[in-house]
Amino acid sequence: MVQIEKTLCRLRRGSPARRPHRAGRRGLAAVLLAAWLALWSRPAAAAPPTSWLADHIAFDIAGITGWRAAWADERNPGFQILGGGGEINLGLEFDSGLGVLFGGRAMFGPTLGAGGGDLYADVTGQLIGQLRVADWVRLGLGASVGRLWHCCSSDLDTPQTSTLLTGGFARVGFDWLSRNATLVRALSFWLRLGIDGHPNNGADSLLPTTSMNLTISLGFRL
């Protein structure tokens, strides 16, 4: 009995020494829990802002199919070319929906009709003013300068089969599969109608003095 009482006394004397140790461990656990909760509840870092240029750049590239024909012309009223090629435009589109683009296109195709089949190249540079009517519709008016010539041999490039092109055009574009992405933003379809004069045609030229061109384009807006 005496031995049991001594053991109980020793346990009572030792328990205060263990209490500070237990309190320290509980305090450390509370600190760790608070730190973990603070890290977990911290808001995620915001994505780095994109540059103004990346948000407003306008870039489209497309494959084209086009038709050029004499327009209101008595000298060569049956002149027609049907061909294909490519077009690329680069510029800026502002928050208001207005945009300005510079670009160019190249088209190659044979003449049509009796005695046709001669291959011609139609290459122009262009300046376009553009208006975003809706997220998926864009209208544009532009001016173009270029050259139309019988190709693709220097022996065939003569004043009678070569001319400058200066004129204007209107175009409308529709977007499909629009997406909020930094690379490919949409698949685009463009329809363009233009009138060009041929200012340097001589009296013996085989080309018309004015021509109309109609183009259908399918490509990407980046």
Are 84 and 152 part of one and the same domain? yes
**What are the E-state strand segments in 53-185?**
57-70, 80-93, 98-110, 119-134, 137-150, 162-176
Are 162 and 193 part of one and the same domain? yes
Are 93 and 196 part of one and the same domain? yes
Are 146 and 189 part of one and the same domain? yes
Question: Which pair of tokens denotes residue 213?
Answer: 């061109």
Are 207 and 100 part of one and the same domain? yes
pTM (predicted TM-score): 0.73
pLDDT in tens, 139-154: 999 999 999 998 876 5
What total number of domains does the chain contain?
A: 2
Q: Which residue has the higher pLDDT, 111 or 17?
A: 111
Mean pLDDT of 48-77: 85
High-pLDDT (> 90) share of the chain, %: 50
Are 195 and 93 part of one and the same domain? yes
Question: Which pair of tokens denotes residue 67?
Answer: 């038709």
Are 148 and 183 part of one and the same domain? yes
Q: Is residue 86 in a domain?
A: yes
Nearest CA-CA partner of 118 in 86, 166, 158: 158
How many residues make up the chain in this entry? 222
In the 8-state DSSP scheme, what is residue 76?
Answer: S
CA distances 202 to 71, 109, 148, 186, Å, are 17, 23, 14, 45
Are 133 and 173 part of one and the same domain? yes
pLDDT exceeds cutoff 90 at 9 = no
The mean-pLDDT minimum among 24-33, 85-94, 182-191 falls in: 24-33
pLDDT of the residue at 17? 45
Are 179 and 128 part of one and the same domain? yes
Q: Under DSSP, is residue 75 helix (H, G, I), strand (E, B) or coil?
A: coil
CA distances 90 to 74, 125, 128, Å, are 38, 12, 10
pLDDT of the residue at 44? 44
Q: Is residue 50 in a domain?
A: no
Please state, rounded to an integer, the average pLDDT across all residues of the chain: 82
| Rounded-to-integer distance, Cα 192 and Cα 170, Å | 6
| Rounded-to-integer distance, Cα 213 and Cα 67, Å | 6
Domain residues for 198? Answer: 57-221
Nearest CA-CA partner of 66 in 45, 88, 86: 86
Q: Is residue 49 in a domain?
A: no
10 Å Cβ neighbour count for 45?
6
pLDDT of the residue at 51? 83
Question: Which pair of tokens denotes residue 121?
Answer: 């190249």
Are 18 and 69 part of one and the same domain? no
Measured over the CA atoms of residue 96, residue 102, residue 108 and residue 114, the dihedral's sign is positive
Sequence-ordered alpha helix ranges (H) in the chain: 2-41, 52-56
Are 104 and 20 part of one and the same domain? no
pLDDT exceeds cutoff 80 at 183 = no
pLDDT-based confidence at residue 205 (cuts at 50, 70, 90)? confident
| Rounded-to-integer distance, Cα 110 and Cα 206, Å | 15
High-pLDDT (> 70) share of the chain, %: 71
The mean-pLDDT minimum among 112-116, 130-134, 136-140, 200-204 falls in: 112-116
pLDDT-based confidence at residue 121 (cuts at 50, 70, 90)? very high
